[in-house]
Amino acid sequence: MKTKKVLLFFIILLLSFSFCFAEPVEIRILYVNDFHGFAESYRTPGSERLLGGVSYLAGLIDNLRREKPTILLSAGDMIQGNNWANLTEGKSVIELMNAMSFDAMVVGNHEFDFGLDVLKKRISESSFFILGANVYGFDGLKPYIIKELSGVKIGIIGVITEDTPKSTHPKNVVGLKFFSVEDTVKKYLKELNGKADVIVVLSHIGFFADRLLAQNVRGIDIIVGGHSHTKVEKPLMIGKTIIVQAWEHGKALGVLDLTLENGKTIKFEGQLKEIGPEIGFEDTTIKAIVDKYEKIVNATLGETIGTAICDLEAKDVRKKETSLGNLIADIIREKAGADIAIVNGGSIRTDILKGEIKIRDVYTVLPFDNYIVAIKMSGKKVKESIEHGVSAVEGDAGSFPQVSGIRFTYNPNAPPGGRIKEIYVGDKPLDEKKRIRGCHQ
């Protein structure tokens, strides 16, 4: 009996030594966000360089996966935006993601744009997990998953912006509730305590909100973000939380390498790798999927309807007046027969480049099923609308007003609600008591 006890003691001792001196483990997190169905490479204004192209993205992912244990994540807004995705209501994107072996995705606000029935179909078609911990009333979204890599347990919690009912059509989310992100994360951190070595929040709330989340909630190791299309070239550290985000449209792949010892992160390195034909890696399986759906797009929307004599830029529509924003607002005002027109910048999704304009280009710029609404409103309400539009310009919220028939100046450093300095309708100062024929889209 004594011999057995001695033997048991030595076994426990050996196990303790092996645990204390365990070799460091390296794992890799690859991530994308705000893909919006941009499957093909495209040229940005002022540059001849092609960026994006999901077949090149997939080729690079394949190469990076060979180097160390890897998980592939998406921070939302994948299935809606570009014609390549919209014509199939996102089915084409889910087929791509399945073929690329994504591990998990958080639902983005634009995943709801085709309605709940369509989203349920897309979820049923996916071979990866789709998360939404703070969405209540919708089956199919998991709050979190636990993924194990080389003995390291990674808990992944998915959260979406609480403003989703405002950033998709309200009819698309009838019956759903979007609860507090902070409260939801705190809840599931407690649930994952002792179950996971590394906690990742897969977030579709925007970079500014990600930073606040890291400041206010302890226990998050990594936030992989989306929604704000922010190009975070190197990981940001807030307290003990690593924050990353990978730009937009598959133009970059985020790479975060972790070194762990005894389940704790002792080192990390991160970067964005820009995607385009020049990287030299192309996945032929993914290219075949892209080509299959591209033929459908060309057959449906390939007709030329005009010519742009210069680049019409939209890249700053969330921050300032743009040439494309002006054009769209002018067209809407003329069509509605209004005195003024206001278009929220976030509804304008990409540029129109110099050259032929095809039907598909128009749908790419304005992919949402919005309607022109003409109303009479007081000058006071017009000012309130413009004030609201500039209230969150520093956060790229998408509410910045592209206008026609109206001019305004504002102070971005003033507190929200008190930023507007002056407004002119035509050549006259705005009369807050006068009713104005306005329209918005």
Residues 284 and 319 in one domain: no
pLDDT, position 427: 92
Residues 396 and 286 in one domain: no
Q: Over 80: is that where the pLDDT of 3 sits?
A: no
Residues 268 and 409 in one domain: no
Residues 84 and 44 in one domain: yes
Q: Over 70: is that where the pLDDT of 12 sits?
A: no
- Give the tens place of pLDDT for each residue, 335-346: 999 999 999 998
396 pLDDT tier (thresholds 50, 70, 90):
confident
Can you give the chain as a three-state secondary structure string?
CHHHHHHHHHHHHHHHHHHHCCCCEEEEEEEECCCCCCCCCEECCCCCCEECCHHHHHHHHHHHHCCCCEEEEECCCCCCCCHHHHCCCCHHHHHHHHHCCCCEEECCHHHHCCCHHHHHHHHHHCCCEEECCCEECCCCCECEEEEEECCEEEEEEEEECCCHHHHCCHHHHCCCEECCHHHHHHHHHHHHCCCCCEEEEEEECCHHHHHHHHHHCCCCCEEEECCCCCECCCCEEECCEEEEEECCCCCEEEEEEEEEECCEEEEEEEEEEECCHHHCCCCHHHHHHHHHHHHHHHHHHCCEEEEECCCECCCCCCCCCCHHHHHHHHHHHHHHCCCEEEEEHHHCCCCECCEEEEHHHHHHHCCCCCCCEEEEEEHHHHHHHHHHHCCCHHHCCCCCEEEECEEEEECCCCCCCCCEEEEEECCEECCCCCEEEEEEC
Residues 227 and 332 in one domain: no
Residues 208 and 354 in one domain: no
- Give the tens place of pLDDT for each residue, 153-208: 999 999 999 999 988 989 999 999 999 999 999 999 999 999 999 999 999 999 99
Q: What is the pTM of this model?
A: 0.87
Residues 241 and 322 in one domain: no
- Give the tens place of pLDDT for each residue, 44-62: 777 889 999 999 999 999 9
CATH number at residue 119: 3.60.21.10
Residues 316 and 290 in one domain: no
pLDDT, position 398: 87
- Give the tens place of pLDDT for each residue, 109-151: 999 999 999 999 999 999 999 999 999 999 999 999 999 999 9
What mean pLDDT value characterizes the chain? 93
Residue 344's domain spans which residues? 304-440
Q: Does residue 397 or residue 15 have the better pLDDT? A: 397
**Does 418 fall in a domain?**
yes
Residues 28 and 50 in one domain: yes
**Does 16 fall in a domain?**
no
Q: How many domains does the chain have?
A: 2
